[in-house]
Structure 1
Amino acid sequence: MQPEVSNADWRRTTLNIRDRYALNGHRSCVLWFTGLSGAGKSTLAAAVERKLYALRIRSYVLDGDNIRQGLNKNLGFAPEDRTENIRRIGEVSKLLSDAGLFAVVACISPYKADRDSVRSMFREGEFIEIYVKCSIEECERRDPKGLYQKARSGEIPNFTGLAAPYEPPVNPELIMDTETRSIAAMADTIMQYLEERELLSL
């Protein structure tokens, strides 16, 4: 089904991104946490959000599971649905970043092409891809939501890492190995990265 041709034009606002930076006292970007189910994306994203909050930096977490409860509740897990899921999350992330916030995204986002498509929406340095690395064996051992067990029993088709592929990032900004490092240590590393790139201030 092809979308209808739109007559809508992009409306410029009276405020620009520099005005929002000045109001907030910091810059903005998207932190895109990608990895297998059970790798620790949401846990790490939440730890970073707490650290940003402590510094009075405005942020919002877009968790893949939460987004599928509302905005993307009409999407399944076929390849085309997964692509649309990431496209929508990318568009929301762009709006949050334009508003001067840190968009903290935690979703599997299994396809490299989809992540690259989202990256192309942002200026250089504004899209920070964080590969939350964890072996499929360890993710399945953890299985915090019981999804791997359900997938193995056939209750969940097209499960990423088992019946559907996961394409690891080729050149992410950061790699966080949750099998060898603590959440606290990795959150500190991410914050140091943001500070070195002068995103936490003007």
Structure 2
Amino acid sequence: MKLYEPVTLAMPLAKRIGEFILEEGRIPEGDEIRGFMREFGLEESCLERGMAVYRTKFLVALAFPRGENVVIDVISSSGELSDALEVIAYRDRELGAFVVEILPANDLEYGGNIGVEPIIIDEKTLEPESFPVLGHFEEDEEGLFLVIDRETYSRWRENGDPHTCPICGGELAWKGKKAYCRDCGYGVRVKG
């Protein structure tokens, strides 16, 4: 997995938090978030009451787990805020659902259009109510790709438009099992 920009951590992290909620029926706590960050290859730099800082060569993540919600800010290690993102997981009492969202951390400076649909999971049945296109990022000679599995691709075709980039909302051009977005520069690859 390649972690160059905030989106390359935010999307797989949101997916992992959503999987945890489906399995456990609750929002992950600090120790579980710490485990997720280690799974993604981040090093813990600081741990204080109610906050943890994680880093890689290119990214810094600040995690704030607070009982029924979690906020994780992901920024470039350069400190540039224009592409910073927040992964937020919370229990929405009005909807009766758990929600995991990826939002721009700074609406005024964000340089792109994060087109990621939120994860919505019914809190009673633990059934997904939304089907966002989430995966992890891999790099090859053709560029950096969001890698999704066949099941995600099938749901995407049934419930959405596979010609709309799941990262920025731009237009995708498909070539076999790969698609390219002219707007954000990322590709999408179907694995399997």
TM-score (norm 2): 0.32
Which structure is higher in strand share? 2
Which structure is higher in helix share? 1
TM-score (norm 1): 0.31
Structure index of larger Rg: 1
